[in-house]
Amino acid sequence: MVQLLNSEGFPPIIVVAWIVDTIVNVALNFWAIPRYGITGASIVSSVCYFLMFLIVSAVVWKRNYARHPATVCAPNLSS
């Protein structure tokens, strides 16, 4: 999905989301690794990657489907 966004013009919100996600990931790892070890680190990474998946999915949905809802549901065949 990120490659699709690259081809359409990379939105700045994705850059901001990656920066915020990285900060959250590092902060949570400082908390999780001493308490839960590698298991905590893997859970934190999975949660952060899933968060980015949701953000990128929302941006793709908004850019490609939300602005043309009529063409997605029922194309105009009169043309």
Q: Is the pTM of this model over 0.85?
A: no
3-state DSSP helix/strand/coil % of the chain, to nearest 5: 85, 0, 15
Calpha distance 19→4 (Å, rounded): 20
Helix and strand counts by DSSP (H, E) for the chain: 3, 0
pLDDT band with cut points at 50, 70 and 90 for residue 32: very high
What is the structure's pLDDT at 16?
A: 93
pLDDT band with cut points at 50, 70 and 90 for residue 60: confident
Calpha distance 41→35 (Å, rounded): 10
